[in-house]
Amino acid sequence: MVSQAKAELRRRVLSERESLTTEQRQRLSREIWKRLSSRPRFKEAKIVAFYLHKGSEADTDKMIEETLKLGKEVLVPATNQRIEFFKFTSFHDLEKGKYGIPEPSKKIPPPGPPRVVIIPGIAFGLCMHRIGYGKGYYDDYLSTSSAYRIGICYDFQLVEKLPTHKKDQRMDEIVTDQRIII
């Protein structure tokens, strides 16, 4: 039942997300960045992990560039059997990884664990849970991480109620182009 409800929600939200133009995605992503960069936990963190966006996800490229300009260390994920975060060096040093998602070609160990992790999702709920692509990589990682969790998405990806599973991990905050949920 839960998996069927999640699959339907994924289809519906992905369809809406895929209908955005490049200009709309960039504009909405800039609004997300404005809110994200003002968050106290983000401002305090010296090491921040970002996802590398794919397709119609909120664009993290500019967010990563701006975070580096703030003097923070940026980590990005690589996925094999699980997610691991590595030091981000350059957009030129990325290659297609598992599922076609960009990841660092040079796996440089991070200087320490991330204090904040920026998390993607297909849908987020006011319950502070998320639905991803269904593989459980982020939930597995977050189950053993003490990092502060900030989910980012376009506002239409935020729904009142989500079907959840006991393995699903909660966010500490959700930042959209229109609001911040704590």
Average pLDDT, the chain: 94
pLDDT for 92 equals 95
Q: How many domains does the chain have?
A: 1
Domain with residue 160: its CATH number is 3.40.50.10420
Look at residues 126, 147, 118 and name the one whose alpha carbon lies nearest to residue 35.
Answer: 118
Q: What is the pLDDT of residues 4-60, one digit of tens each?
A: 888 899 999 999 999 999 999 999 999 999 999 999 999 999 999 999 999 999 999
Query: What DSSP character marks residue 34?
Result: H
What's the confidence (pLDDT) of residue 133?
A: 85
| Consecutive H or E run containing 28 | helix 22-36
Closest by CA position to 51, among listed 12, 14, 104: 104
Q: Which residues of 64-73 are buried (b: 16+ CB within 10 A; e: fewer)?
A: beebeeeebb
For residues 124-134, average pLDDT: 92
**Position 2 confidence tier, pLDDT thresholds 50, 70, 90:** low
| Confidence (pLDDT) at 1 | 58
Cα 9 from Cα 131, distance rounded (Å) = 9
The parent domain of residue 131 ranges over: 2-181
- Of 51-55, 86-90, 134-138, least confident by mean pLDDT is 134-138
pLDDT at 84: 96
- For residue 173, the SS3 value is strand
d(CA 23, CA 18): 13
DSSP state of 99: G
Query: Per-residue pLDDT tens for 94-105?
Result: 999 988 889 999
- Distance between CA atoms of 181 and 20, rounded to whole angstroms? 23
pTM (two decimals): 0.94
Whole-angstrom Cα distance, residue 55 to residue 169?
24
